[in-house]
C-alpha cells in the first residue's frame, strides 16, 4: 500500500473511528481499522524521525502504531481535548522509545 494514497484523517472522522474502536467486540479488527485510519498521520510523524537517520522507516511506523493503540485504549471519549492531539503525543513517545532502545542509537 502506498501511504500517499491513504487520505488524511480529520478531527471529526477521528472521533468516529475512536468511538467505533471503543465499542468494538473484535479487538483484532478494531486495531486494524484504527491503524489503517491513522496510517497517514503515523507515517508523517515517523517520516520526520526517519529524516534524522535513526531507524528504518518500517520500524518507526510500527512503533508509531503501538503508540496509536496505547492512545486509543487510554483515551477518554468524554475528554475536552481531541483524539488527534492525544494520539500524536503517544505516537511520538513510542517512536522515541524505539529509537532509544536501538543499540546503534547515539544522542
Integer Cα distance of 80 and 74 in angstroms: 14
Q: In the prediction, which pLDDT does 24 show?
A: 77
- Look at residues 1, 21, 5 and name the one whose alpha carbon lies nearest to residue 13: 21
Q: Rounded to two decimals, what is the model's pTM?
A: 0.78
For the chain, 107 residues long, the average pLDDT of each consecutive 10-residue run is 56 75 76 82 90 81 93 84 89 93 68
Give CA 47 to chain center in angstroms.
12
Amino acid at each position: 500500500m502506498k501511504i500517499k494514497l491513504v487520505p488524511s484523517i480529520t478531527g471529526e472522522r477521528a472521533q468516529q473511528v475512536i468511538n467505533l474502536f471503543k465499542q468494538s467486540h473484535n479487538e483484532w479488527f478494531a486495531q486494524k481499522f484504527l491503524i489503517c485510519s491513522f496510517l497517514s498521520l503515523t507515517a508523517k510523524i515517523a517520516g520526520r524521525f526517519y529524516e534524522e537517520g535513526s531507524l528504518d522507516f518500517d520500524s518507526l511506523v510500527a512503533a508509531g502504531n503501538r503508540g496509536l493503540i496505547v492512545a486509543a485504549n487510554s483515551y477518554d471519549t468524554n475528554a475536552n481535548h481531541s483524539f488527534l492531539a492525544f494520539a500524536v503525543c503517544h505516537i511520538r513517545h513510542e517512536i522515541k522509545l524505539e529509537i532509544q532502545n536501538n543499540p546503534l542509537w547515539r544522542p
